[in-house]
Structure 1
Amino acid sequence: MMNRNKLFFYYQHKDELIEKLNPLFDLAKQNGFEIVQDHKDANIIISVGGDGMFLQSVRKTGFREDCLYTGVTTSENESGLYCDFNLDHFDEMVHSMMHEALEVRRFPVIEANINNESSFYCLNELSMRSTLIKTIEIDVFIDDIQFESFRGDGLIVATPTGSTGYNKSTKGAVVDPKLPCFQVSELASINSNRYRTLGSSFILSGERTLNLQLVQDGNDYPILGIDNEALPIRNIRSVKINLSDKVIKTIKLKDNSYWERVKRTFL
């Protein structure tokens, strides 16, 4: 079993938050945990600050598969689909990590290859949108077959855990993270005699390859969002997307399943 005594905390270094974290650091040390300053030395990475901070912690620490991630919200009113703990009850978190039967949850990750040159991982979603006040045109290929010609504001490709965010706001489906798949959703598509799209989200098996070919019509500098960051790549011609073999392992409290979190957040 993985040794779980070296903790790395990922958070915004603000005086008010550090003041709240210091008692947690002391309590963790009193119970045999070591607080490390380099995430490479940790076997548990703890993000503090909600789902956005959790996504950043995974990205900034390199999508590590040899450690566990967990998320901590900073207030009672802040919900999080990636966060099991709350900072106001940090004593419960330490007790749970020491004494309760923690389960490991595995979240799928998609890999995006840009222009057949650079690859990036996404835990939540990838989005491609126009930077100009005009529509963007994308030829959509599934495996080697051209599926549709899209014209509109953009496309979202979401992992199962990312399906509750940007994807859901566009009427995409919420997907069980135990399914190895990814979902494609449209942003304000135009349907006419020239451009015809499915008009709804669709879900692809993890064995599929999605290839987005940007039509070079002057709108050649789209915004490419990877989770909650924009990539500084200017001329994007193609984006090839696959479900990665990589998974992110997170700590799951007993009786706190993904669907319990979805219910708590939205219902």
Structure 2
Amino acid sequence: MAERKNLYFFYKKDKELQEKLNPLFDLAVENGFHIVDSAEDANIIVSVGGDGMFLQAVRQTGFRQDCLYTGIKHAGADAGLYCDFNMEHFNEMVESMKYEELEVRRFPVIEANVNNSSSFYCLNEVSIRSSLIKTISLHVYIDDLHFESFRGDGLIVATPTGSTAYNKSISGAVVDPKIPCFQVSELASLNNNRFRTLGSSFILGGERKLVLQMEQDGNDYPIIGVDNEALPIRNMTDITITLSDRIVKTIKLKNNSYWERVKRTFL
């Protein structure tokens, strides 16, 4: 960690939080780190907030492959599965970085290509949901094999780290992030003679290609969510989802594994 000294802080700019952060900035500088004003000049990007802010930090800085990400949780923020550090104990982070008491965790990322034209990366999940009070119809292909025809409220395709978020809330499996894969889960599927689905979540290996083809039946303007953002895309014909060759490298404390964080958050 010695060669990584440029810190960029990603946070919601408000006076109260700024006052809390100023002593932390001073502490970092006192310990040989540099606070930079641009994410492009950083080799460590620090989000301050909760998991939502961490996702925004990764997305808005372009899923940087040449730097590390880490998160600091402050009081009142959402669950901190991506945040190893706490606002009230920032000195622990500085000391750990200074004395090499950290490890690098690598999280898989999925790529979603909409209408064979625009690609988007996701650290948590991509979701396709009806924007009307009406079900949507999707034909599901795995490696060009027609697997099932879905009608319902929508589908969620989650990374292993995203498996504890939206995916878990609809009884999807929690997946170890060391497994290169992604998971497909249903939102209120209907099953009849025309539309048949597996009826449970399923997990695809990292080499698989998933294609969701929209049936053009008048409800072809779904809400497409990538992590915690909605895409400004109107008509959708299909979306292709694969495991990207990109990864997100995060700083983690030793003796603070992903499963320890899951236990601490949910059990």
Note whether the superposition's TM-score is higher than 0.5.
yes
The amino acid that maps onto 1:252 is: K
Q: Is the 8 A contact 1:129 1:223 kept in 2?
A: yes
Q: Is 1:109 matched up with 2:109?
A: yes
In structure 2, the partner of 1:25 is 25
Give the CA RMSD over aligned residues.
Answer: 1.1
In structure 1, the partner of 2:12 is 12
Q: Is the 8 A contact 1:55 1:227 kept in 2?
A: yes
Distance 1:208 1:78 in 2: 32
- Tell me, what secondary structure is at the counterpart of 1:186? strand
In structure 2, the partner of 1:232 is 232
Deviations 1:164-196 (A, max 9, x none): 000000100000000000000000000111111
- Tell me, what secondary structure is at the counterpart of 1:83? coil
Distance 1:118 1:78 in 2: 30
The Cα of 1:99 is off from its aligned counterpart by 1.2
The Cα of 1:31 is off from its aligned counterpart by 0.8
- Tell me, what secondary structure is at the counterpart of 2:69? strand
The amino acid that maps onto 2:105 is: R
The amino acid that maps onto 1:4 is: R
In structure 2, the partner of 1:201 is 201
1:38-49 alignment to 2 at 5 Å? 38-49=38-49
In structure 2, the partner of 1:65 is 65
Distance 1:86 1:70 in 2: 11
Distance 1:83 1:46 in 2: 10
In structure 1, the partner of 2:79 is 79
Q: 1:140 to 1:77 in 2, by over 3 A?
A: closer
- Tell me, what secondary structure is at the counterpart of 2:111? strand
Q: 1:76 to 1:132 in 2, by over 3 A?
A: closer
In structure 2, the partner of 1:241 is 241
The amino acid that maps onto 1:201 is: S
Distance 2:193 2:114 in 1: 30
Distance 1:186 1:2 in 2: 45
In structure 2, the partner of 1:135 is 135
The amino acid that maps onto 1:134 is: K
Q: Is the 8 A contact 2:160 2:174 kept in 1?
A: yes
Structure 2 segments unaligned to the other structure (5+ residues): none
Q: 1:239 to 1:76 in 2, by over 3 A?
A: closer
Q: Is the 8 A contact 1:76 1:88 kept in 2?
A: no
**Normalising by structure 2, what TM-score?**
0.98
Distance 1:32 1:77 in 2: 29
Distance 1:209 1:176 in 2: 20
* Percent identity for Structure 1 against Structure 2: 73
Distance 1:64 1:135 in 2: 37
Q: 1:118 to 1:149 in 2, by over 3 A?
A: same
Deviations 1:11-34 (A, max 9, x none): 000100000000000111111100
In structure 1, the partner of 2:252 is 252
The Cα of 1:100 is off from its aligned counterpart by 3.9
- Tell me, what secondary structure is at the counterpart of 1:252? strand
Give the number of aligned pairs.
267
Deviations 1:181-236 (A, max 9, x none): 00000000001111110000000000000000000000011000000000000011
- Tell me, what secondary structure is at the counterpart of 2:84? strand
Structure 1 segments unaligned to the other structure (5+ residues): none
